[in-house]
Protein backbone atom coordinates (compact mmCIF):
# COMPACT_ATOMS: atom_id res chain seq x y z
CA UNK A 1 0.00 0.00 0.00
CA UNK A 2 1.22 3.46 -0.82
CA UNK A 3 1.78 5.71 2.14
CA UNK A 4 1.87 9.21 0.74
CA UNK A 5 2.93 11.24 3.73
CA UNK A 6 2.93 14.47 1.74
CA UNK A 7 -0.81 14.59 2.28
CA UNK A 8 -0.12 14.53 6.01
CA UNK A 9 1.68 17.83 5.71
CA UNK A 10 -1.36 19.55 4.21
CA UNK A 11 -3.92 18.28 6.68
CA UNK A 12 -5.19 20.91 9.05
CA UNK A 13 -6.27 20.77 12.67
CA UNK A 14 -9.89 20.43 11.56
CA UNK A 15 -9.06 17.47 9.34
CA UNK A 16 -7.55 15.66 12.30
CA UNK A 17 -10.47 16.60 14.51
CA UNK A 18 -12.89 14.97 12.08
CA UNK A 19 -10.60 11.98 11.42
CA UNK A 20 -10.37 11.43 15.18
CA UNK A 21 -14.16 11.78 15.45
CA UNK A 22 -14.59 8.98 12.88
CA UNK A 23 -12.13 6.85 14.86
CA UNK A 24 -14.04 7.45 18.10
CA UNK A 25 -17.34 6.70 16.41
CA UNK A 26 -15.95 3.37 15.23
CA UNK A 27 -15.71 2.04 18.78
CA UNK A 28 -19.43 1.33 18.52
CA UNK A 29 -20.29 1.74 14.84
CA UNK A 30 -18.97 -0.21 11.90
CA UNK A 31 -19.97 2.74 9.72
CA UNK A 32 -20.21 5.96 11.68
CA UNK A 33 -23.31 8.02 10.80
CA UNK A 34 -22.45 11.52 9.57
CA UNK A 35 -24.43 13.08 12.42
CA UNK A 36 -22.38 11.18 14.97
CA UNK A 37 -19.12 12.37 13.37
CA UNK A 38 -20.43 15.90 13.39
CA UNK A 39 -21.51 15.69 17.02
CA UNK A 40 -18.10 14.37 18.17
CA UNK A 41 -16.03 16.75 16.01
CA UNK A 42 -18.00 19.85 17.06
CA UNK A 43 -16.90 22.03 14.16
CA UNK A 44 -18.73 25.27 13.44
CA UNK A 45 -21.77 25.23 11.16
CA UNK A 46 -21.57 22.41 8.70
CA UNK A 47 -17.76 22.34 8.68
CA UNK A 48 -17.67 18.59 9.25
CA UNK A 49 -19.23 17.80 5.88
CA UNK A 50 -16.68 19.79 3.94
CA UNK A 51 -13.83 18.21 5.87
CA UNK A 52 -15.22 14.69 5.32
CA UNK A 53 -15.19 15.34 1.57
CA UNK A 54 -11.53 16.32 1.76
CA UNK A 55 -10.66 13.25 3.84
CA UNK A 56 -12.51 11.09 1.32
CA UNK A 57 -10.55 12.62 -1.54
CA UNK A 58 -7.31 11.63 0.17
CA UNK A 59 -8.68 8.13 0.92
CA UNK A 60 -8.38 8.57 4.68
CA UNK A 61 -12.02 7.61 5.14
CA UNK A 62 -14.41 5.41 3.23
CA UNK A 63 -17.95 6.52 2.45
CA UNK A 64 -20.80 4.05 2.80
CA UNK A 65 -24.40 4.95 2.13
CA UNK A 66 -25.83 1.46 1.76
CA UNK A 67 -27.82 1.63 5.02
CA UNK A 68 -27.40 5.25 6.02
CA UNK A 69 -24.98 8.04 5.23
CA UNK A 70 -21.78 7.22 7.06
CA UNK A 71 -18.01 6.87 7.07
CA UNK A 72 -15.32 4.59 8.42
CA UNK A 73 -11.56 5.00 8.67
CA UNK A 74 -9.37 3.40 6.03
CA UNK A 75 -6.02 1.92 7.01
CA UNK A 76 -4.43 5.04 5.56
CA UNK A 77 -6.54 7.19 7.87
CA UNK A 78 -5.54 5.04 10.83
CA UNK A 79 -1.87 5.27 9.74
CA UNK A 80 -2.06 9.04 9.68
CA UNK A 81 -3.54 9.22 13.18
CA UNK A 82 -0.79 6.98 14.57
CA UNK A 83 1.99 8.77 12.69
CA UNK A 84 0.72 12.17 13.77
CA UNK A 85 0.64 11.12 17.45
CA UNK A 86 4.17 9.74 17.29
CA UNK A 87 5.50 12.80 15.46
CA UNK A 88 3.83 15.07 18.05
CA UNK A 89 5.53 13.03 20.77
CA UNK A 90 8.88 13.66 19.08
CA UNK A 91 9.58 9.97 18.37
CA UNK A 92 10.44 10.69 14.72
CA UNK A 93 9.91 13.50 12.25
CA UNK A 94 9.72 11.93 8.80
CA UNK A 95 8.69 8.74 7.04
CA UNK A 96 10.95 7.23 4.40
CA UNK A 97 10.92 4.26 2.08
CA UNK A 98 9.08 1.00 2.59
CA UNK A 99 11.46 -1.76 3.65
CA UNK A 100 9.13 -4.67 4.13
CA UNK A 101 5.71 -5.95 3.33
CA UNK A 102 4.11 -8.85 5.09
CA UNK A 103 0.76 -10.51 4.79
CA UNK A 104 -0.45 -8.50 7.71
CA UNK A 105 1.94 -5.57 8.03
CA UNK A 106 3.85 -2.85 6.20
CA UNK A 107 7.30 -1.74 7.35
CA UNK A 108 8.80 1.69 6.68
CA UNK A 109 11.92 3.58 7.65
CA UNK A 110 11.35 6.64 9.81
CA UNK A 111 13.90 9.27 10.83
CA UNK A 112 14.40 11.80 13.61
CA UNK A 113 15.47 15.41 13.00
CA UNK A 114 19.10 14.47 13.70
CA UNK A 115 19.11 11.61 11.21
CA UNK A 116 18.57 8.60 13.45
CA UNK A 117 16.77 5.99 11.33
CA UNK A 118 14.34 3.46 12.84
CA UNK A 119 11.78 0.94 11.59
CA UNK A 120 8.00 1.51 11.76
CA UNK A 121 5.74 -1.53 11.59
CA UNK A 122 2.08 -0.86 10.74
CA UNK A 123 -0.07 -3.86 11.57
CA UNK A 124 -2.76 -4.69 9.03
CA UNK A 125 -4.90 -7.38 10.55
CA UNK A 126 -7.95 -8.30 8.61
CA UNK A 127 -6.45 -7.07 5.37
CA UNK A 128 -6.80 -10.51 3.88
CA UNK A 129 -10.22 -11.22 5.28
CA UNK A 130 -11.40 -7.76 4.39
CA UNK A 131 -11.52 -8.74 0.75
CA UNK A 132 -13.55 -11.72 1.78
CA UNK A 133 -15.95 -9.43 3.61
CA UNK A 134 -16.39 -7.35 0.50
CA UNK A 135 -17.03 -10.31 -1.75
CA UNK A 136 -19.47 -11.86 0.70
CA UNK A 137 -21.20 -8.67 1.56
CA UNK A 138 -24.74 -10.05 1.37
CA UNK A 139 -23.93 -13.02 3.44
CA UNK A 140 -22.32 -10.89 6.11
CA UNK A 141 -24.84 -8.12 6.15
CA UNK A 142 -26.53 -9.21 9.35
CA UNK A 143 -23.41 -10.19 11.20
CA UNK A 144 -21.35 -7.97 13.42
CA UNK A 145 -18.11 -7.61 11.58
CA UNK A 146 -14.80 -8.09 13.29
CA UNK A 147 -13.11 -4.91 14.29
CA UNK A 148 -9.84 -4.65 12.36
CA UNK A 149 -8.84 -1.48 14.14
CA UNK A 150 -9.00 -3.26 17.42
CA UNK A 151 -7.28 -6.41 16.14
CA UNK A 152 -4.41 -4.44 14.62
CA UNK A 153 -3.97 -2.36 17.75
CA UNK A 154 -3.92 -5.52 19.82
CA UNK A 155 -1.25 -7.06 17.55
CA UNK A 156 0.92 -3.95 17.92
CA UNK A 157 0.45 -3.94 21.67
CA UNK A 158 1.47 -7.60 21.95
CA UNK A 159 4.42 -7.17 19.65
CA UNK A 160 5.71 -4.15 21.53
CA UNK A 161 5.34 -5.83 24.92
CA UNK A 162 7.13 -9.01 23.81
CA UNK A 163 9.92 -7.08 22.11
CA UNK A 164 10.48 -4.99 25.21
CA UNK A 165 10.48 -7.97 27.58
CA UNK A 166 12.72 -10.09 25.33
CA UNK A 167 15.16 -7.21 25.00
CA UNK A 168 15.35 -6.84 28.78
CA UNK A 169 16.17 -10.55 29.06
CA UNK A 170 19.02 -10.26 26.60
CA UNK A 171 17.39 -11.83 23.54
CA UNK A 172 18.62 -10.59 20.15
CA UNK A 173 15.58 -8.51 19.13
CA UNK A 174 15.18 -4.95 17.82
CA UNK A 175 15.01 -2.29 20.49
CA UNK A 176 11.33 -1.47 21.17
CA UNK A 177 11.13 2.33 20.97
CA UNK A 178 7.45 3.27 21.15
CA UNK A 179 4.00 2.37 19.90
CA UNK A 180 0.71 4.00 19.06
CA UNK A 181 -2.52 2.41 17.82
CA UNK A 182 -1.48 -0.29 15.28
CA UNK A 183 2.06 1.04 14.91
CA UNK A 184 5.31 -0.12 16.52
CA UNK A 185 8.57 1.84 16.32
CA UNK A 186 11.74 -0.19 16.77
CA UNK A 187 15.42 0.04 15.97
CA UNK A 188 16.39 -0.72 12.39
CA UNK A 189 18.10 -4.07 11.94
CA UNK A 190 21.12 -3.76 9.63
CA UNK A 191 20.81 -7.05 7.85
CA UNK A 192 18.64 -9.26 5.70
CA UNK A 193 16.06 -11.92 6.38
CA UNK A 194 17.81 -15.29 6.41
CA UNK A 195 15.70 -16.35 3.42
CA UNK A 196 17.75 -13.99 1.22
CA UNK A 197 21.10 -15.39 2.34
CA UNK A 198 22.64 -17.90 -0.06
CA UNK A 199 25.89 -18.49 1.74
CA UNK A 200 27.08 -18.50 5.34
CA UNK A 201 30.65 -18.51 6.62
CA UNK A 202 29.65 -20.84 9.33
CA UNK A 203 26.29 -22.54 8.83
CA UNK A 204 26.82 -25.02 11.70
CA UNK A 205 27.34 -22.30 14.19
CA UNK A 206 24.42 -20.19 12.96
CA UNK A 207 22.16 -23.23 13.02
CA UNK A 208 23.14 -24.03 16.60
CA UNK A 209 22.69 -20.41 17.67
CA UNK A 210 19.21 -20.29 16.15
CA UNK A 211 18.20 -23.58 17.73
CA UNK A 212 19.43 -22.56 21.14
CA UNK A 213 17.38 -19.39 20.73
CA UNK A 214 14.15 -21.41 20.36
CA UNK A 215 15.11 -23.47 23.39
CA UNK A 216 16.03 -20.46 25.50
CA UNK A 217 12.70 -18.85 24.56
CA UNK A 218 10.88 -21.95 25.78
CA UNK A 219 12.89 -21.88 29.00
CA UNK A 220 11.51 -18.37 29.46
CA UNK A 221 8.01 -19.75 28.92
CA UNK A 222 7.50 -18.61 25.32
CA UNK A 223 7.07 -20.03 21.83
CA UNK A 224 7.52 -17.76 18.82
CA UNK A 225 5.02 -19.60 16.58
CA UNK A 226 6.32 -18.07 13.36
CA UNK A 227 9.98 -18.88 13.74
CA UNK A 228 11.39 -19.24 10.25
CA UNK A 229 13.83 -17.84 7.68
CA UNK A 230 11.59 -14.80 7.12
CA UNK A 231 11.63 -13.73 10.75
CA UNK A 232 15.32 -14.17 11.47
CA UNK A 233 17.57 -11.38 10.27
CA UNK A 234 21.29 -11.77 9.82
CA UNK A 235 23.93 -9.08 9.25
CA UNK A 236 27.30 -9.07 7.52
CA UNK A 237 29.02 -10.28 10.71
CA UNK A 238 26.48 -13.11 10.88
CA UNK A 239 24.88 -11.68 13.98
CA UNK A 240 21.25 -12.81 14.17
CA UNK A 241 18.19 -10.85 15.25
CA UNK A 242 14.75 -12.33 15.69
CA UNK A 243 11.68 -10.29 14.69
CA UNK A 244 7.88 -10.51 14.37
CA UNK A 245 6.24 -11.38 17.71
CA UNK A 246 2.49 -10.71 17.74
CA UNK A 247 1.59 -14.41 17.53
CA UNK A 248 3.82 -15.67 20.37
CA UNK A 249 2.20 -17.98 22.93
CA UNK A 250 3.02 -19.29 26.36
CA UNK A 251 4.39 -22.80 26.87
CA UNK A 252 1.20 -23.50 28.83
CA UNK A 253 -0.89 -23.04 25.67
CA UNK A 254 -2.74 -26.28 24.92
CA UNK A 255 -1.05 -26.56 21.50
CA UNK A 256 2.35 -25.50 22.81
CA UNK A 257 4.11 -28.74 21.87
CA UNK A 258 2.83 -28.57 18.30
CA UNK A 259 3.89 -24.92 17.89
CA UNK A 260 7.30 -25.59 19.37
CA UNK A 261 7.87 -28.59 17.10
CA UNK A 262 6.74 -26.59 14.11
CA UNK A 263 9.20 -23.77 14.85
CA UNK A 264 12.06 -26.28 15.19
CA UNK A 265 10.96 -28.11 12.05
CA UNK A 266 10.93 -24.89 9.97
CA UNK A 267 14.54 -24.12 10.83
CA UNK A 268 15.68 -27.71 10.34
CA UNK A 269 14.03 -27.87 6.94
CA UNK A 270 15.41 -24.55 5.77
CA UNK A 271 18.98 -25.34 6.82
CA UNK A 272 18.99 -28.83 5.41
CA UNK A 273 17.71 -27.53 2.08
CA UNK A 274 20.06 -24.61 1.72
CA UNK A 275 23.23 -25.35 3.66
CA UNK A 276 25.28 -28.37 4.56
CA UNK A 277 24.97 -28.65 8.30
CA UNK A 278 26.74 -30.89 10.76
CA UNK A 279 25.06 -29.86 13.93
CA UNK A 280 26.63 -30.50 17.30
CA UNK A 281 23.59 -28.91 18.87
CA UNK A 282 20.43 -29.58 20.70
CA UNK A 283 18.17 -30.74 17.89
P1 LIG B 1 5.09 -9.65 9.13
O2 LIG B 1 4.35 -9.88 10.40
O3 LIG B 1 4.22 -8.97 8.15
O4 LIG B 1 5.78 -10.88 8.62
P5 LIG B 1 7.73 -8.70 9.98
O6 LIG B 1 7.87 -8.11 11.33
O7 LIG B 1 8.22 -10.09 9.80
O8 LIG B 1 6.22 -8.55 9.49
O9 LIG B 1 8.46 -7.74 8.93
C10 LIG B 1 8.39 -7.96 7.53
C11 LIG B 1 9.75 -7.67 6.90
O12 LIG B 1 10.15 -6.31 7.16
C13 LIG B 1 10.86 -8.52 7.48
O14 LIG B 1 10.99 -9.73 6.81
C15 LIG B 1 12.08 -7.64 7.27
O16 LIG B 1 12.58 -7.75 5.96
C17 LIG B 1 11.53 -6.24 7.45
N18 LIG B 1 11.72 -5.75 8.84
C19 LIG B 1 10.87 -5.91 9.88
N20 LIG B 1 11.36 -5.35 11.01
C21 LIG B 1 12.55 -4.80 10.68
C22 LIG B 1 13.55 -4.05 11.41
N23 LIG B 1 13.40 -3.77 12.71
N24 LIG B 1 14.64 -3.66 10.74
C25 LIG B 1 14.81 -3.93 9.42
N26 LIG B 1 13.90 -4.61 8.68
C27 LIG B 1 12.79 -5.05 9.28
MG1 LIG C 1 7.37 -11.88 9.38
Asked if the structure places residue 33 within a domain, the reply is: yes
State the chain's mean pLDDT as an integer. 90
SS3 per-residue string spanning 123-166: ECCCHHHHHHHHHCHHHHCCCCCCCHHHHHHHHHHHHHHHHHHH
Same domain, 205 and 137: no
Same domain, 63 and 19: yes
Q: Does the pLDDT of residue 4 top 60, yes or no?
A: yes
pLDDT at 264: 97
pLDDT at 127: 64
Separation of alpha carbons 256 and 252, rounded Å? 6
Q: Express each pLDDT in 119-175 by its tens digit.
A: 999 999 876 654 454 444 444 444 445 678 889 999 999 999 999 999 999 999 999
The CATH number linked to 96 is 3.30.200.20
pLDDT at 51: 96
Ligand with the closest atom to the CA of 97 = 1
Asked if the structure places residue 84 within a domain, the reply is: no
DSSP 188: P
230 CA from centroid of ligand 1 (Å): 8
Separation of alpha carbons 167 and 189, rounded Å? 14
Q: Helical H runs in the chain?
A: 6-10, 13-25, 34-41, 47-57, 75-88, 127-135, 137-140, 148-168, 203-219, 256-274
The CATH number linked to 60 is 1.10.10.10
Q: Express each pLDDT in 73-115 by its tens digit.
A: 999 999 999 999 999 999 999 999 999 888 789 999 999 999 9
234 neighbors 192 (Cβ within 8 angstroms) = yes
Structural domain range at position 247: 192-274
- Taking residues 200-225, what's their average pLDDT? 95
Domain boundary among 125, 159, 187: 187
Asked if the structure places residue 279 within a domain, the reply is: no
Q: Is 186 in the pocket of ligand 1 (CB under 6 A)?
A: yes
- Within 10 angstroms of residue 215's Cβ, the number of other Cβ atoms is 14
Domain count, the chain: 3
Q: pTM for this one?
A: 0.91
pLDDT at 148: 84
Domain boundary among 46, 76, 106: 76
Whose Cα sits closest to atom 11 in ligand 1?
Answer: 100
Domain boundary among 20, 44, 76: 76
Ligand with the closest atom to the CA of 227 = 2
Q: Does the pLDDT of residue 207 top 50, yes or no?
A: yes
Amino acid sequence: MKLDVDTLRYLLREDFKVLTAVEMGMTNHEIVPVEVVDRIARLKHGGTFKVLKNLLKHKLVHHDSSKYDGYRLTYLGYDFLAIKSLVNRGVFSSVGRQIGVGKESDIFEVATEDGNIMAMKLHRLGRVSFRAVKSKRDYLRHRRSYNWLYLSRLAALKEYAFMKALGVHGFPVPNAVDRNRHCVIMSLVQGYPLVQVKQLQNPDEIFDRIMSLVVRLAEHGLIHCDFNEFNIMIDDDEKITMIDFPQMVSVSHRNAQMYFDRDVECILKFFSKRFVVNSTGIA
